[in-house]
Amino acid sequence: MNMEFSGMGLWGFLILIADIWAIVSTLQSNISTGRKVIWIVLILFLPLLGFLLWLLVGPRGR
């Protein structure tokens, strides 16, 4: 295993953790169910871009 591959694996793991955090926070927010579904689908299908959008303009928990 070369160093470049393990670095990419680390970035993938960090994005996964960030996406899980964004999804849990979205589920705990007070927005409507329809908007929650839209945000979760966006985060799942576009992991990095979806997380960045959520971070900038997404709903906040509670």
**DSSP β-bridge partners for residue 29:** 61
Q: How many CA atoms lie within 13 A of 7 on its CB side?
A: 3
Range of the domain at 32: 3-57
Residue type, 35: R
| Residue 62 belongs to a domain | no
Residue 53 domain-assigned? Answer: yes
pTM above 0.85, yes or no: no
Does residue 12 lie within any of the structural domains?
Answer: yes
**Tens digits of per-residue pLDDT, 14-44?**
999 999 999 999 999 999 999 999 999 999 9
Q: How many domains does the chain have?
A: 1
Which band of pLDDT confidence, cut at 50, 70 and 90, is reported for residue 4? low
Whether residue 31 lies inside any domain: the answer is yes
C-beta contacts of 18-23 below 8 A and 24+ residues apart: 18/51, 19/43, 19/44, 19/47, 19/50, 19/51, 22/50, 22/51, 22/54, 22/55, 22/58
